[in-house]
Amino acid sequence: MTAHITPLIIGNWKTTPATLKDAITFIKNLDKKYTASKIKLPKKGYYLAVPEVFISEIVKCSVHGYIGAQNVSGISLGQTTGETIPSQLLSTGSTFTLISHSEVRKRGETGDERAHKVALSLQSKLLTILCVGEQTRDKQGNYLSIVEEDIKQSLSLVSKNLFSNLVIAYEPVWAIGGTTPATPHECFEVVIAIRRALSSLVGIDYAKKVKVIYGGTVTKENAHLFIQEGGVDGLLIGRASQTVSSFMEIINICHGT
């Protein structure tokens, strides 16, 4: 990550907290700590992917953050039950969405579904965070080709003019929730592969517009290492974003690096 880029710090609440009241209390406490920070922070310096049912109310009370969704469908307006389309997310005040988090893929999302999700999300002008990452690492380096092919398939329906609103989140599945996170070096080599895949799709000028972030057991102890040495433009944070103190610590660390 180059020094002049403001890091993207994206939290993923998953299925927490238990109630809307808890969610609002969290945001108010987070913003209070944000305002009191001794680090020079931008007016808005964090992103939170929250349960859809909370978005409209959290948007109203969040002062220093951007609020978004954890997933979106790749279908159009019509007669499908239980799905949310990009325009509906936008109407709630959502500014971004995650797409293809490893947990969503595990539930059966296909490559074709993924490609349509990304295309419709970007066409709707949502900041779109596409998650990619290998299940395991092999000594031959085949995982790099797997990630590159994933990116090419997922972006196969996207016009290059929309790449400026795209973020790639590298989340090595083997590191998520584990005791052994990826190292900044392991992250960096995949970032290079991601950049290579993007350049082969749309050329280096458009590829440069895409931010690449890291997600996979991010903690206050390793956050700065990924920012400094991992070649990324920010972080996708799971469990550590579900507690005000730990999330705020990481925000301070990343903006102070």
Active-site residues: which are they?
101, 171
Rounded Cα distance, 10 and 251, in Å: 10
Question: Which of helix, strand or coil describes residue 79?
Answer: coil
Torsion of CA 219, 222, 223, 229, to 10 degrees: -160
Backbone angles phi, psi at 179, to 5 degrees: -85, -15
Structural contact between residues 67 and 55, judged by C-beta atoms closer than 8 angstroms? yes
Structural contact between residues 13 and 228, judged by C-beta atoms closer than 8 angstroms? no
Structural contact between residues 51 and 92, judged by C-beta atoms closer than 8 angstroms? no
Question: Which of helix, strand or coil describes residue 235?
Answer: strand
Rounded Cα distance, 222 and 162, in Å: 32
For the chain, where are the alpha helices, taking DSSP H only? 20-36, 55-61, 86-91, 102-106, 111-123, 142-154, 184-202, 204-207, 223-229, 244-256
Rounded Cα distance, 130 and 163, in Å: 11
Give the helix, strand, coil percentages of the chain, each rounded to 5. 45, 15, 40
Rounded Cα distance, 171 and 191, in Å: 11
